[in-house]
Amino acid sequence: MKFEVKQGSKKLIFNSELTGLVVNGKEYVSGKGGALIYDQTKELKASEVKLQMSSNTSTLIPALRVLSVPYSSYFDQKEVVESQNNITFYWNKSKLAAFYNRFSTDELDYGKRESVIREAVNFLTANIAKLRLEDEFLVRVLEVCKLLGFYQGFPIFDSSTGFAKLQSRLGIHIDPEAIMISTPLDKYEQDVYELAESILEVTGLEFSRKKNRVVFPKDKKLINLLGLKLE
């Protein structure tokens, strides 16, 4: 699934097959070592970018910067940028949490994301001098999490409700289009990677590594391995 958002002569192309940002034919993704797309693309300029079908600022802000489309300097603040590798940022109120309260696509199927993403882009490019957001707690943190079961001692959560990725020390999270294993705490990162490697050995499914988390495709083999029966 694809769609375009134009900013004057510049173009953002959202693509459900991407997990990062493509500039001048090269794809940039956040890696295991924590290298952010924001930092990898700092010197790049283009008139067109391709990016994951998400309102996440991890790709959306770098994409706007590459296109030289203005946005609020708030999103360039160090702690806001580094929140991409530090989910505990959301233990406190912030304008970034308020942004996601309004424009998050994390819990939506791809077919329902386009309108939200368009609204997010319009908001970011219309509120440049003064960001019209108050500091808020992330609403999803206040919701009850839904436990689906356990695998090798790891709890399995339905990501459509609550925010177990922040509240659970270690967890397996069933997203709309993927399955993530993650921890909010650096000291448990290796446990995440070890579990991912064991799943790879059993299923043959490859995964992408990011800081404190890995992402698998939402494949039937993995669903069966986890002992789940999803609708």
The backbone torsions φ and ψ at residue 66, rounded to the nearest 5 degrees and listed phi first, read -60, -35
User: What is residue 104's predicted lDDT score, i.e. its pLDDT?
Assistant: 94
Overall pTM surpassing 0.85 (yes/no):
no
**pLDDT-based confidence at 106, cuts 50/70/90?**
confident
| pLDDT (0 to 100) of residue 231 | 61
pLDDT at position 140 over 70: yes
Backbone angles phi, psi at 123, to 5 degrees: -65, -45
Q: Above 70 in pLDDT, residue 33?
A: no
Q: Which domains are delineated in the chain?
A: 2-135 (no CATH), 144-226 (3.30.1360)
Task: Assign 32 a pLDDT band (cuts: 50, 70, 90).
Answer: low
**Selection from 107, 91, 85 nearest residue 142 by Cα:** 91
How far is Cα 63 from Cα 53, in angstroms, rounded to an integer? 12
49-67 pLDDT, tens digit each? 999 999 999 999 999 999 9
The reported pLDDT for the residue numbered 219 is 94
Give bridge partners of residue 217 from the DSSP assignment: 178
**Model confidence at 34: pLDDT above 90:** no
Residues 149-202: tens digit of each pLDDT: 999 999 999 998 888 999 899 999 999 889 999 999 999 999 999 999 999 999
